[in-house]
Amino acid sequence: MTAAPATTDETTGHGLSALLTLAAPVVASRLGIMAMGLVDTVVVGRHSATELGYHALGWAVTGVVLTTALGLLSGVQVMTSQAIGEGREADTGAILRRGLAYALWIAVAAAVFLALAGGPMLQAFQLAPGLATGATPVLQVQAVSLIPIIVADAGLFWLEAHGRALPGTIAMWLANIVNLAVNLWLVPGGNMLGVEGAAASAWATFASRAFLLVVLAWVILGWRRARELGVLSPAPRDPAAFRAMRRVGYGGAASYFIESLAFSAMAIFAGWIGASAVAVWAVVINVAALIFMVPLGLSVATSVLVGRAYGARDRQAMLQSAGQGFGVTTVVLMLVSLGVWLFPDAIAHAYSRDAAVIAGIASAMVLSSLFFVADGLQVVAAQSLRARSDIVMPTATHLVSYVVVMMPLAWWWGVHGGGGVDGLIWAIILASALSAALLWGRFVALGRRPLSLALTPPAAPPASPPA
């Protein structure tokens, strides 16, 4: 028996139109996330190349913790999408309340861990003189800013699963305005707070994330359907549903941790190469991360539609949604890669005034254009697999591709072999291609199998006491 059709306020169906309608604001939202990082990097980089190195190293550690924490919350989006597909939209308010409580615990734990352990970790990496000492205060401010962004993203994921990505996008770009204004005020120094450079930029990030949390709370509570979805009521006790949400999150967190750890290791390798290499790598990873927001947004839209189709037990719609996500991602990223390949000097001059750093950035940008497509396709495939409750394979694939393959090759080619930043990039090219091939092969193989009718355990009885 097929579940009742889902009804939502925004995006319904599984065609290309549904994908693009949902993907456009999600991509814009993810670009908004990276625009904050872009503004931070550009403002700090033009203030001081040394401060840019501190900023990059602080985020190298913070990024691992943040992406892992957000991976733990990926179950909010997956379970919401599947519930809508099954015709259980009224249960999604409880999913949000459980997700927000879970997010708060994760956020506090992540912030405390990073504030206490981040500095000693940087010291243990034996970087070039002065780098760890300069980056530690930056990292500690970034730790504080984890709390509002982790909680806010739980609400953002829930809105996107409902197809209401546009309000979250607007909130994100308003937060960007706050971030830019505070950066321009604090980074040059001479302000009443007595901060400047990378540490000042970290405080700007905190201010913008706190603003984002407040706006998203207002959006959710002001949605006319919030009450009927159970957002304003205590979530019924449902250990099975909470376990299912955490299970998806564990798989997502493991994948995000593995991938972000591997890419953060590239920053450490760059630190072993030299201070100039750190500055070049900071720009490379910032541009790559900015571009990555496009396939990340497409992966969210694809996974929402795949999750709904999986919840409705509609294999054809599931395969169609994934295939369209693959095609759109490929076309868009080929165009982006061509633009980066043609205009590397313009990108380099936007980030730095140092001639040596500009030359290194331009060379690295040309080479980096070779991995954007593969890196984008692997995240769309991984999210699509999680949306159909295949949790283990994306994690295993990322472990093989980015830890077993990429990290040793990056050290061998970039550090040991003297290839510098170019050696690091070649390792990323190979690892991303391997990951994309394995994950899409897995999705196609699963797509040939019939879907079972059973999906989720029954919801807790209405008489259960509230959590």
Q: What is the pLDDT along the chain (467 residues), one digit of tens a residue?
A: 333 443 444 444 556 788 888 888 888 888 888 788 878 888 888 888 788 888 878 887 887 788 888 889 988 988 998 888 888 888 899 999 999 999 999 999 999 999 898 888 888 877 767 787 788 888 899 999 999 999 999 999 999 989 898 999 999 999 999 999 999 999 888 787 888 888 899 999 999 999 999 999 999 999 989 888 989 888 888 888 888 888 888 888 888 888 877 887 888 888 888 877 888 888 888 788 888 888 988 998 898 899 888 888 888 888 898 999 999 999 999 999 999 999 888 888 887 777 777 888 888 899 999 999 999 999 999 999 988 888 889 999 999 999 999 999 999 998 888 888 899 999 999 999 999 999 999 999 988 877 665 444 443 333 333 33
| Phi, psi dihedrals of residue 161, rounded to the nearest 5° | -65, -30
In-domain check, residue 453 = no
Question: Over the range 76-92, which residues count as b (16 or more CB within 10 Å of their CB) and which as e?
Answer: bbbbbbbbbbbbbbebb
Positive or negative CA dihedral for 21, 25, 26, 28?
A: positive
pLDDT of 452: 62
Q: What pTM did the predictor assign? A: 0.76
Reference 280, options 216, 204, 362; nearest CA is 362
In-domain check, residue 13 = no
Q: Where in the sequence is the domain holding 130, given as residue range(s)?
A: 19-447
pLDDT of 279: 81
In-domain check, residue 6 = no
447 close to 318: Cβ distance less than 8 angstroms? yes
pLDDT of 13: 52
Domain count, the chain: 1
Q: Which structure tokens are listed for 408?
A: 């040793």
Rounded CA separation 401/382 (Å): 13
In-domain check, residue 458 = no
User: Which residue do the tokens 């050290």 mark?
Assistant: 411
pLDDT of 14: 58
334 close to 396: Cβ distance less than 8 angstroms? no
Rounded CA separation 294/305 (Å): 17
pLDDT of 457: 44
In-domain check, residue 2 = no
In-domain check, residue 12 = no
In-domain check, residue 430 = yes
In-domain check, residue 11 = no
Positive or negative CA dihedral for 168, 173, 177, 178?
A: positive
